[in-house]
Amino acid sequence: MRETVCALHRELVRNNLVAWTAGNVSGRVPGEDLFVIKPSGVPYDDLTPEAMVVCDLEGNLVEGAFSPSSDTAAHAYVYRHMPEVNGVVHTHSTYASAWAARGEPIPCVLTAMADEFGGEIPVGPFALIGSDDIGKGIVAVLESHRSPAVLMRNHGVFTIGDSPEAAVKAAVMCEDVARTVHLSRQLGEPLPIPQDDIDHLYSRYQHVYGQRSQR
Ligand SMILES: [Zn+2]
């Protein structure tokens, strides 16, 4: 899991989701009440599997030479309250954070959004770092949406997945649709997709699309 989480941070860089050290990936350790997360303030180029830190589900450091990411409490809260989640990603990716700054959900106006998010990408509350408020906001919103991504108001993106890879994919897709819908808005009002069609697309993509072994 240290190797997986370390390697996935390179995907944040490769997909232009992060500036400096402002983004992090975590992954639940299978069968344990533990997760692996990025150390705080370490540049992405310097990350190694050994530099990753292991925390318990209260966010306490269990193993590692560095202190854990400053977003560890939010990741820990999600793992405590959503047992089906095995990966969490946080970024301040540009276009998605621009929607978050307006406190506006990204409307479901692309079939790729219906596939991946099953509807709009919702907005979570404004919350300050340093307590469980961010985690509470993430869980409250994502428990009642199909979307694996939430835009935390005035802040950025949190995504979840049944693996750390799935959470990274959701973060990449979130930024992609945030950009496209923003551009569409510059040209006029994007056309909504009827709910029945969103439901059909979501169901097909989640259950039929892709290689059988990857479902
Ligand atoms: Zn942040």
Q: Is 168 helix (H, G, I), strand (E, B) or coil?
A: helix
And the tokens for 42?
A: 């370490």
Cα four-point dihedral sign 152, 157, 158, 161:
positive
**Residue 22 alpha carbon to ligand 1 centre in Å:** 7
CA distance 76 to 81: 9
Q: Which amino acid is at 184?
A: S
Helix (H) or strand (E) holding 63: strand 61-63
Question: What per-residue confidence (pLDDT) applies to 21?
Answer: 86
User: Strands 87-91 and 34-37, how do they pair?
Assistant: unpaired
Residue-level pLDDT at 211:
63
Distance 113 CA to ligand 1 centre (A): 23
- Domains of the chain from N-terminus onward: 1-208 (3.40.225.10)
Q: Could you tell me whether strands 123-124 and 149-152 are parallel, antiparallel, or unpaired per DSSP bridges? A: parallel
When pLDDT is averaged across residues 78-103 and rounded to a whole number, the result is 98
Backbone dihedral angles phi then psi of residue 169, each to the nearest 5 degrees: -55, -45
pLDDT digits (tens, 9 = 90+) for 4-47: 999 999 999 999 999 988 899 999 999 999 999 999 999 999 99
Give tens-digit pLDDT for 129-159. Answer: 888 999 999 999 999 999 999 999 999 999 9
How far does residue 208's CA lie from ligand 1's centre (Å)? 34
Give a three-class secondary structure readout of 50-62: HHCEEEECCCCEE
Span 80-91, average pLDDT: 98
Q: How far is the CA of 24 from the centre of ligand 1 (A)?
A: 9
Calculate how far, in angstroms, residue 162's C-alpha sits from the geometric centre of ligand 1: 21
Active-site residues: which are they? 115, 209
| Average pLDDT value for residue range 154-173 | 98
Distance (Å) from CA 138 to ligand 1 centroid = 12
